[in-house]
Structure 1
């Protein structure tokens, strides 16, 4: 297949800008979403299956994608969550003992459209200058006017509720039922490695749907509560915000990551906003303002917490700061057992600098018992 002449393809941005490429394999079609980029050198399989990327067209800045294949154990959800892939060089052949399949097979099994041979350096530079925006990738290169009409109908990510698209339909359990501690987790786009990191700290987890109530979570009598990462705008997540308010009011141990961090901020009356092009990669520098230490972190978010409002809030402390743009990377409540971070301490993919945050959560649970 890789020796066949591949079909031309285009990336059409919402402002009318067009980039050109080739369809990966013999896959044809059209896919819409918000175009964004990830700066990670590795971890493409984990990135593609991260629910936080639901509905996004992923541009990978690393020049080679697919060269180490895929492994069934290296997924973060039950399926690919990105809307499409845009890359420079796509590797049809792979070389890794642990791989059980090629990336091409993995994409085909998930019916995902991918485009390669794209000048991703120019595309990423354009996004950095002009911001993340809706786009369409398509092999229907002779029908640009129709693609423009269809693209105009795609809703903007600002104000878009997507947690319901990726959350579990029914509660489920994770970990050892004989573990010392119990944590109730709200799934607004949870990654499997977050569950693994919590469970390996002697915790049994019950995962609840995105719209579960405090009564439903508390009826399980957990020792702590967790709000997960996830896609979309946190503002429409009224059920999750109400849940966070109830947990905070009762001063129960609460930990939030990424979208969960933003929900906790809103529950405290602090607003969020859509970023120009977001933070997505496994090399983002963060400073822990409490310890003074630096961390290299894994990040994936297009919204952020209003720093001015957070700093002026009488019961909030900004605990972590992103060193590239000084956005809020972590919060803690001064009078409640609650903290959150904007990045991904589960490091899948990414560095392990921030894994201590899971230990901090367990310590908070121990202190509350």
Structure 2
């Protein structure tokens, strides 16, 4: 049996989501998290102690000067993805970056160009590519199983602003920063809107061509402020979308969807069939209505094969020296749609051509 080549990983940003990265790497043969980077010494120390990380740094530059790592997970807040990733790419390091790739298309495209120029493995952690139903649905659409896509409806529903299933949003920093643009949040649009846009367009096999969007921030505290956090990031997003293949539909996301802890759904309809793709209560499910069931509207469950996670595919790509998707170029394409959503909302929800 061959022994997997060792890979040394640096994790940049050691807040809540960093644990998922560290645990995923710890489960892989030959992969070691060798260092952590964070400006908050308490957060960094706690992360290092929990995950047995030997080296810690207060800046990316200090970690690069040390240099004893091969690949990086960037788990920093959205607004510093660009600033923290660019030096790593210049240093020739492979990077898996959390989503959204950046806060605007210019930064995202700069990251994609730099990654391509450096010739390193680059990947955006769009975690719902880990869902078997998603990957099988994309394969079925690409195979022509439901014909030409005509219409879709997609949603990403969370309820952590109405029920404390994951913690107290109004007292814990890991939630409060997600409600504050000053602290690097792009709101529900950047946090989970990017997921449902990828979920939809990846399965449909077409990108967003134009959209109109309404973003809304609800009153959640007196004066919209809790401590150092101004709660101005959007809580709900509703988009009317047309894809590059002409299909039209609606995409919406909310943190106020009571009863839905973390649920995604896409219903997509073609000229010869339809698919219903779900990730609900941590269960993946795919249903289809195809010929001859199409004539009587019968939907049936489909078996779906297991898939490798983004973390595994990233490390495999680092070891083999091959590229992997979703890459930074995909992140930049999605950022065009996010930018269009923001522009539409600011312009009385008018229709905006993407890009």
When normalised by structure 1's length, the TM-score is 0.26
When normalised by structure 2's length, the TM-score is 0.27
The higher-RCO structure (CA 8 Å, 6+ apart) is 2
| Bigger helix share | 2
